[in-house]
Structure 1
Amino acid sequence: MRNLLYLLLLCVLASCKTPEARRPVSQNSGSYIDASIARNKKLNKAEESAILKEIKNNPEQEYIASADGFWYTYDTKEKDSIDKSFPQVGDVVTFTYDIQSIAGEEIVSKKELGTQTYQIDQSNQELMPGLRAGIKLMREGETVTFLFPSHKAFGYYGYENKIGMNRPIKSTVTLQSITLKTEQE
């Protein structure tokens, strides 16, 4: 009887175990992601080379590398910069800009694009990510030329059959006015 009780206790303890996770029937190796990463690294390197070549071809311009992944140079820098501030979140800016190939050939003129109004980081306006970040580096009255890699410009989609996918661009922006958020209220 005692042996039967031990045997029953042993069976109960042996059958109590934690549930095991089910494994997927098929597993992907991640080769698509690896290939995509390699392709994007190659694309970024080629775009950066084209941008650096353009910078090298214009030694009279002093280009600055931004923390946001693009380059820019001041064509017209505000002399009284102490009195003027950069646009802040909620401020409304008015500006004009053009779109050029990285070599400087005009793709879309300032006239075609017209005067733009944009509320900093508050608007759903369709602006290039690089342009949104670049405007924050400008003061009223300044003109800046930006060199944007494709991921800061129009990326994979391009622009209205005028710019192909994954093309770096140049854009010259003139910040005409800044209306402070406090002035709007």
Structure 2
Amino acid sequence: MASCTSGEYEESKTKKGWVKSNKTQTTKSGIKYQVLLRKKNSNKLSSGLNVTYHQVIRNHKDSILSTTYPYGPKKQIPFEGPYFLGYYKEMFQMLSEGDSVHFTVPCNLLISKKNPQLPSFLNKNETIRYIIKVLKIESRDAIKKELEKNKQAQLEIEDKIIADYLAKNTSISPQKTPEGFYYSIDQKGAGKKPQGGDTVSVHYVGMLLDGTVFSSIQKGETFEFPLGQKPPAVIPGWEKALTLMNKGSKGTFIFPSHLAYGNKGSQDGVPPNAVVVFNVELVDVK
């Protein structure tokens, strides 16, 4: 057997309250499976619940086709959602929280009306093997509460980061808005204030707190976009920030991550959960 993915065979040691088995069984559709490790009295997967799990897929030669282990587990997928159909649903409906299971699936079961052809690297007469570790089964309410708890914790972390930044940069004396971002109008213009439906043109520089510039449009060109567009053309913080400016104004805006690029960051070099600073000039309002 080829070398194992890190974490793939954690089930090799039996812990108290767990049952270890290598017995091969077969589902109604012909999928062979082994429950390598099962936790006694654990939550069983059913409609209305979400599942978080690791998955490794290997071909008949035991080469890895895909794995979640280097990237983190699949997250909070609804069991009754479109991801779980056919043989995949049949596999998962037998699982409980903590289970470690191997499934051997004939490749011809991968063929469907939606996917009438196999990928070029698979043959319908071959099999593929799924190695699945169920990490957590939980309700939507539990997930919602956990997300809200994590969001609040992140807000508190970023409030401290912004406070430390302002303590070191005393030339900035911004106000905090109810939405949670900070702003300072450094040069007040005499023109119109934009509102939803207006098209605005701006110059701007976007920076991380260490001064690293990740995006910039300055003199010679402008960035033009409509306010209030669905989906938004800009980060959430900008939608509110620009309504605080008159045409001709220049301002500094400090956005926590939930009003900027969130927990994913951006391809421009903004890390996940990053506080960002924008220097903005409102050039025109139409």
TM-score with structure 1 setting the length: 0.70
Tell me the CA shift for residue 90 of structure 1. Answer: 2.1
Residue 44 of structure 1 corresponds to 155
Residue 136 of structure 1 corresponds to 243
Counterpart selection for 1:101 from 208, 212, 215: 208
Residue type of the alignment partner of 2:153: K
Query: Using the alignment, how far apart are the partners of 2:228 and 2:47 within structure 1?
Result: 46
Q: In the TM superposition, what are the counterparts of 1:2-151 in structure 2 within 5 Å?
A: 28=138, 31-78=142-189, 81=190, 84-110=191-217, 115-122=222-229, 124=231, 126-151=233-258
Tell me the CA shift for residue 133 of structure 1. Answer: 1.0
What per-residue deviation string (whole Å, max 9, x for no partner) do you get for residues 114-170 of structure 1? 521122214645300101110111111111110000000011221115112211111
Residue 9 of structure 1 corresponds to none
Residue 261 of structure 2 corresponds to 154
By relative contact order (CA 8 Å, sep 6+), the higher-ranking structure is: 1
| Unpaired stretches in structure 2, ≥5 consecutive residues | 1-45, 50-137
**8 Å Cα contact 2:192/2:285 also seen in 1:** no
Tell me the CA shift for residue 31 of structure 1. Answer: 4.6
Q: Which moved more, 1:28-37 or 1:39-48?
A: 28-37
TM-score with structure 2 setting the length: 0.47
| Unpaired stretches in structure 1, ≥5 consecutive residues | 1-23, 180-185
User: Could you say what secondary structure the match of 2:282 adopts?
Assistant: strand
CA 1:42–1:140 in structure 2 vs 1: closer, same or farther (change >3 Å)? same
Which structure 1 residue ranges, 4+ long, deviate > 6 Å from structure 2?
Answer: 24-27
What per-residue deviation string (whole Å, max 9, x for no partner) do you get for residues 7-30 of structure 1? xxxxxxxxxxxxxxxxx9998575
* Aligned length, in residue pairs: 150
Cα RMSD (Å) of the superposition? Answer: 2.5
Higher strand share: 2
Query: Using the alignment, how far apart are the partners of 1:73 and 1:170 within structure 2?
Result: 11
